Amino acid sequence: MQKITFGKELAKTIGLNESIVLETLYERVEKEGTPLNGRVWIERTYREWQEDFPFWSIATIKRIFSSLKKQGLIVMEQHGKHRYDRTNWYALSDEGRHYFGQEKIVEEETQVGETGNIQDKITIVEKQLKKLRFFPLQTSQKSELAHVCKTFSLEQISQALEATAERAIFAWKYAYKILLTNQKSSAKPKRRIIRTEKVPDWFQQEKHKDAAEITQEWNEETLAKRRRLLAIQEKYQQQKKTTFSLA
């Protein structure tokens, strides 16, 4: 069972429910956040938030996030690649991060770390960006590049950059969204509905019986139509012969 934690002083300042949600948001951002435009974001639906807070309705969760936003503690935006994707992205604001003693912006060094392999990947990607004539990266986008090199393979990054360049869009932001969208679609498993209940014997017998009756009825109806068509043809031939004899 997952424990709910919150700070007493924080709860006094911003409210009990708000402090619980803000603490959970901070933990998720630290563990699975995605750098974008100088902030670290997580993308979640209200249904997913309700899995963290099963004791609250979705309406209550919406009100809590609205309260946090009004207090200036969080930022809520929509960064989906497609216009129809209205899933919210959540990040702590500068004031919200202040409660947890964090820096205002995640620096490039913290994202890259001391791993030589990551730095090598960054160098390779930077060369490809220059080769494809992308616009120079901004400071906040360098942390995004470090995150990409940690998360994706060079092949995936290269495909995203080439797909962006083919559309004559030489902006890192577009390629970054392609990678995030692909990661999101691959993370969600496709649901397969498999019926496991046992079908009773009487149902199968009744099903075969009904099929046999339908086939028999269909055959009888077809034969009746055929007899009617033959009768019409025979009548037409007789009328044709009578016409020729009178002529």
Question: pLDDT, tens digit, for every residue of 148-159?
Answer: 888 888 888 888
The band of 110, judged by pLDDT with boundaries at 50, 70 and 90, is: very low
Q: Is 62 helix (H, G, I), strand (E, B) or coil?
A: helix
The band of 106, judged by pLDDT with boundaries at 50, 70 and 90, is: very low
For the segment 110-118, the average pLDDT, to the nearest whole number, is: 53
The pLDDT tens digits for 181-234 are 877 666 555 555 555 556 566 555 555 555 555 555 566 777 788 888 888 888
Q: What is the mean pLDDT of the chain?
A: 78
The band of 67, judged by pLDDT with boundaries at 50, 70 and 90, is: very high
Cα gap 105→103, rounded to integer Å? 6
The band of 247, judged by pLDDT with boundaries at 50, 70 and 90, is: low
> What pLDDT does residue 57 have?
94
> What pLDDT does residue 59 have?
94
Q: Which residue has the higher pLDDT, 93 or 239?
A: 93
CA 59 to mean position of chain CA atoms: 22
Beta-bridge mates of residue 239: none
53 and 25 in contact (C-beta within 8 Å)?
no
Q: Which residue has the higher pLDDT, 74 or 166?
A: 74
Q: Which residue has the higher pLDDT, 216 or 22?
A: 22
For the segment 44-49, the average pLDDT, to the nearest whole number, is: 92
How many residues comprise the chain?
247
Nearest to 113 by CA among 101, 126, 122: 122
With 80 as the cut, is the pLDDT of residue 28 above it?
yes
With 80 as the cut, is the pLDDT of residue 108 above it?
no
CA 211 to mean position of chain CA atoms: 43
With 70 as the cut, is the pLDDT of residue 162 above it?
yes
Q: Both tokens of residue 235? A: 């009548």
Q: Is 59 helix (H, G, I), strand (E, B) or coil?
A: helix
Q: Which residue has the higher pLDDT, 52 or 186?
A: 52
Q: Which residue has the higher pLDDT, 105 or 192?
A: 192
91 and 34 in contact (C-beta within 8 Å)?
no
With 50 as the cut, is the pLDDT of residue 102 above it?
no
The band of 72, judged by pLDDT with boundaries at 50, 70 and 90, is: very high
